[in-house]
Structure 1
Amino acid sequence: MKRLLSCLIFGMLVCSSNARDPNVIIIFTDDQGYGDLGCYGSTSIKTPHLDQLAIEGMKLTDFHVPSPVCSPSRAGLLTGCYPKRVGMHRHVVFPFHRYGLHPDELTLADHLKANGYATACVGKWHLGHMPETLPTAQGFDSYFGIPYSNDMSHPDNKKKPRMNQDESWRRQDHFSKLWNTPLMKDEKIIELPVNQRTITRRYTDEAIRFITTNKDRPFFLYLPHSMPHIPLYVPDDVLDPDPKHAYRCVIEHIDAECGRLIQTVKDLGLEKETYIIFTSDNGPWLSYKHHGGSAGPLRSGKGTTFEGGQRVPCIIWGPGRVPAGSRSDALTSSIDLLPTLANLSGYPLKAKAPIDGLDLSGVFLEQKPSPRSEFLHYSSNGKLEGIRQGAWKLLVKEVRAKKVKGKAQPPRKQVMLYNLSKDLGEQVNVAETFPEKVATMQKRMIELDTEIEKNARPVFGQKR
């Protein structure tokens, strides 16, 4: 009996010592709206692979990004901070800019790499294109992708083509070559212009190579797709030539490529030791109509602090750990992913500088309430515009005042208060009904923003 007990204990110790740190994959699309997946209510776009990911994992319904535009949102995800805290809040980085995310910031890649992970960024970066600000300076062993948006041109964003988006879709071979958008490998441009028609599939190919190469060690793959940011392109074999179907076609192509990647994880027998998170950097670019997506039941889209601009789809998958077929309506954010994934990896974060993210491990693994009870809303230019507390959301926006006798007037403030549990579409402004709540929430959002501004850290290109 003692011999059997000793063998059992020894076996448990061996299994424990051989337990592998979990892999982490983040798939991050560009400008994909809350209503652009079947599992989030889309009836026009077929996304069977991502829907299956949700069936096998958890769907988050109240997940927010910290900015309604690209660069600040990406900074928030990787650093666990509101973009203002790391100096990346003033809209997006253009090719002519000479600043970017400071390499001294601790990113998710930095943290996991320091704990033995292989790390790779495959896709759109958009946090600075100088050598000091590229992924290889931010904790990633390798980089393959476009350094900024796919509607930007190297080296100074001049000579950008003027085009009708429908015509661009119809004549893809011609128009896709007019963008002088670079493809980079680590710190070097390897293709100029990049073939945007094949880039979604090539990202997947590169991601699969990385996973296969590192299947025997823990890895972190950050896969920020360039699309469905305009201009939209796909390979010939999946092309629907009708431009009215352009957006649908691109999302269905992304879904198919996600399916390839997920199947690779399963074929390699890594599903029990891999977390996959799928989400988007902000809401849909509604002004592009059928070249842009849908926010579903939410108000507005990209560039706004209404729900359609910052509430995005999010699926987390981790067989055997994340409850299959589960759903969480808890308030959560992409800035929470750094401390959460650090904890799930077995290496809890020990940040030297303040961050704003909170650990959501309990939400993901046990469907516990979220530790997040508040969330700040910043405009696309980094201006404080609102706060969320529980079901209540306050927005205080500056709007242009009408001219008086031909003279410009100072902007006026528009105060909006919504109870999202009753009014998800933000249609009924109850600010006048609850003046005390408005005052309390406004005081709190200024208090939180003041602390962030006081302790903000500069971007690379400014003195530290």
Structure 2
Amino acid sequence: MMTLFKRFLSSSLATWIALTFLSMQGELYAKDGRPPNVIVILCDNLGYGDVGCFGSKLHRTPHLDRMAAEGMKFTDLYAASGVCTPSRAALLTGCYPARVNMHKSETGGAVLQPVSSKGLAASEITIAELLKPKGYATTIIGKWHLGDQLPFLPTRQGFDSYYGIPYSDDMTPRPGKPWPDLPLMRDEEVIEAPVDLNAATRLYTQEAIRFITENRDRPFFVYLPQAMPGSTRAPYASEAFQGKSKNGPWGDSVEELDWSTGQILKTLDLLELDEQTLVIWTSDNGAPRRNPVQGSNEPLKGWGYTTAEGGMRVPTIVWWPGTVPGGTHCAEVASLMDLYPTIARLAGAELPPDRVIDGKDILPLLQGESGAKSPHQAFYYYMFDQLQAVRSGQWKLYLPLRNPKGGWQQQKEAFAQPRLFNLKEDLQEASNVAEENPEVVQRMMRLAAKIQEDLGDDENPGPGRRHAGHFPQPTARNLPQ
């Protein structure tokens, strides 16, 4: 009996040592010894205040509310841009958009347009490419918007499969825009054109459930960038949701997105994958200004396509039963760029040693570790190549600018002087406290100078910039003849 007891102690000690070693190596494994599955659901233009658990009184979102009750809400998490192409590039590469040269289109626009000669460079290493060597099945289902030419498609960027649209729902042929019909693609082929956008959320959900089910016995990465609520002024939804919300087509679309998330969580429960799967639900940027108003960024100031809080702070829910503590929230500064190093750590993948990665590992925040703090000394708000603001802790400083870019053209006078806001007390960015806190202003100006020295601007690019991909003779993605 004593021998058996000693063996048990020896075995337990060996197990403890092994687990401690794995933790020290930054690897966390699910209960069956394999790395966790990861699902990232990225809505398009969904506002901070558009779902119930973030304050909406208009939209019914019971599945997202349940997800938040069982997981963690991030209240101070940012997209790296107020518009979609740069925001998505940052999420997948862990870098500020200007670093990977995806901060504007080849024509100087805010996002890539159809038949663009520009795209995410093949030399960039996406989250999918990090995970492939670790045995992950990888897929993207939804809106890509990082280049529609063959060298830029997801299947050339580490994804085993692709089902979705290559750019935004509003990029359809019309006078002055001789674009092709918006295509639905599978892998590298167009399978439908024009796509039926009313069916998009339902079809993407079915595709995600199929992929999860087929790959349930191996680790998988599902990147689900939903097309909705989208960029059109009359968002799309399937017949089951049309006219059912209190907020017109926008609300219909949001409530179907909630249903979609519920179906995916239900699938994980049925397949007993819930404790093996990290699910992150968020948005690429804030809701844009519309008249009449559709989306909501309350209680934040401003709209999408700007560097206001409502433009770049995005609603985020993290769900992983048994690992992410339920019913909690995190108010530390974080970014969608942080998903890159955090997911890499969970998978036991090494970050590329030959390049700067701006994202930081936020696993201690996800796990609700006591005393865990933001790993960011500063977060930078960019519009195109222009650094417009800096956040450090509770403080946000708008830099003095002569010609603010993006949605600020009518506010040049406001940008003439530095403006400082205490975001813990002033989410509406209403009370400029720069004069009362000159030392804070100076400290944050130094932080701004540090990143500007690294990335520069389009007139004077910094040494930290990398090249985008370029395809000299782009062609339209059309149905095969």
**Could you say whether these structures have the same fold, taking a TM-score greater than 0.5 normalized by the shorter chain as the test?**
yes
- Aligned counterparts, 1:24-63, within 5 A: 24-63=38-77
In the other structure, the counterpart of 1:261 is 264
Which segment is superposed worse, 413-422 or 351-360?
413-422
In the other structure, the counterpart of 2:22 is none
**Aligned partner letter, 1:73:** S
Contact 2:134–2:348 (CA under 8 A) maintained in structure 1: no
Contact 2:245–2:255 (CA under 8 A) maintained in structure 1: no
Contact 1:154–1:182 (CA under 8 A) maintained in structure 2: no
- Superposition deviation, residue 305 in structure 1: 0.6
Match of 1:311 among 310, 313, 320: 313
In the other structure, the counterpart of 1:152 is 171
Contact 1:63–1:314 (CA under 8 A) maintained in structure 2: yes
- Superposition deviation, residue 352 in structure 1: 2.4
Contact 1:96–1:156 (CA under 8 A) maintained in structure 2: no
- Superposition deviation, residue 5 in structure 1: 5.2
- Superposition deviation, residue 346 in structure 1: 3.0
- Superposition deviation, residue 386 in structure 1: 1.3
In the other structure, the counterpart of 2:123 is 104
Find the residue that maps to 1:143 and give its secondary structure.
Answer: strand
**Aligned partner letter, 2:188:** E
- Aligned counterparts, 1:34-433, within 5 A: 34-90=48-104, 91-153=110-172, 158-159=177-178, 180-231=181-232, 232-240=235-243, 244-290=247-293, 292-367=294-369, 368-379=372-383, 381-396=384-399, 398=401, 413-433=416-436
Sort the Cα spacing of 1:89 and 1:157 in 2 relative to 1 into closer, same or farther, 3 A.
farther
Between the aligned partners of 2:176 and 2:66, the Cα distance in structure 1 is: 40
Sort the Cα spacing of 1:412 and 1:55 in 2 relative to 1 into closer, same or farther, 3 A.
closer
Contact 1:399–1:414 (CA under 8 A) maintained in structure 2: no
Which segment is superposed worse, 268-277 or 335-344?
335-344
Contact 1:95–1:156 (CA under 8 A) maintained in structure 2: no
**Aligned partner letter, 1:99:** K
Alignment gaps of 5+ in structure 2 = 20-28, 105-109, 405-411, 456-461, 473-481
Between the aligned partners of 1:6 and 1:59, the Cα distance in structure 2 is: 44
- Superposition deviation, residue 411 in structure 1: 11
Match of 2:463 among 451, 454, 457: 454
**Aligned partner letter, 2:103:** H
Say what the alpha-carbon RMSD is for the aligned residues. Answer: 2.7
Which segment is superposed worse, 92-101 or 9-18?
9-18
Sort the Cα spacing of 1:275 and 1:400 in 2 relative to 1 into closer, same or farther, 3 A.
closer
**Aligned partner letter, 1:372:** H
Sort the Cα spacing of 1:5 and 1:217 in 2 relative to 1 into closer, same or farther, 3 A.
farther
Between the aligned partners of 1:366 and 1:412, the Cα distance in structure 2 is: 38
Between the aligned partners of 1:114 and 1:155, the Cα distance in structure 2 is: 44
Aligned residue pairs, count: 436
Between the aligned partners of 2:114 and 2:471, the Cα distance in structure 1 is: 18
Alignment gaps of 5+ in structure 1 = 161-178, 402-408
Between the aligned partners of 2:289 and 2:441, the Cα distance in structure 1 is: 30
Contact 2:399–2:415 (CA under 8 A) maintained in structure 1: no
**Aligned partner letter, 2:120:** L
Between the aligned partners of 1:10 and 1:18, the Cα distance in structure 2 is: 18
Contact 2:59–2:245 (CA under 8 A) maintained in structure 1: no
Sort the Cα spacing of 1:9 and 1:268 in 2 relative to 1 into closer, same or farther, 3 A.
farther
- Superposition deviation, residue 442 in structure 1: 1.8
In the other structure, the counterpart of 1:174 is none
Contact 2:398–2:415 (CA under 8 A) maintained in structure 1: no
- CA-to-aligned-CA distance 1:252-286 (integer Å, 9 cap, x gap): 01101110111001100001100000000000012
Between the aligned partners of 2:244 and 2:352, the Cα distance in structure 1 is: 51
Sort the Cα spacing of 1:21 and 1:157 in 2 relative to 1 into closer, same or farther, 3 A.
farther
- Superposition deviation, residue 299 in structure 1: 0.5
- Superposition deviation, residue 448 in structure 1: 1.4
Between the aligned partners of 1:26 and 1:317, the Cα distance in structure 2 is: 11
- CA-to-aligned-CA distance 1:327-364 (integer Å, 9 cap, x gap): 11101101111001111223343442111011001111
- Superposition deviation, residue 243 in structure 1: 9.3
**Aligned partner letter, 1:456:** R
Between the aligned partners of 2:414 and 2:264, the Cα distance in structure 1 is: 49
Which segment is superposed worse, 243-252 or 209-218?
243-252
Sort the Cα spacing of 1:443 and 1:131 in 2 relative to 1 into closer, same or farther, 3 A.
same
TM-score for both structures, normalised by structure 1:
0.88
Contact 2:118–2:147 (CA under 8 A) maintained in structure 1: yes
Contact 2:75–2:330 (CA under 8 A) maintained in structure 1: yes
Contact 1:94–1:157 (CA under 8 A) maintained in structure 2: no
Sort the Cα spacing of 1:206 and 1:427 in 2 relative to 1 into closer, same or farther, 3 A.
same
In the other structure, the counterpart of 1:443 is 446
Contact 1:95–1:157 (CA under 8 A) maintained in structure 2: no
Find the residue that maps to 1:335 and give its secondary structure.
Answer: helix
Contact 2:48–2:313 (CA under 8 A) maintained in structure 1: yes
Between the aligned partners of 2:413 and 2:66, the Cα distance in structure 1 is: 51
Q: Which runs of 4+ in 1 moved over 4 A?
A: 7-18, 154-157, 241-244, 409-412
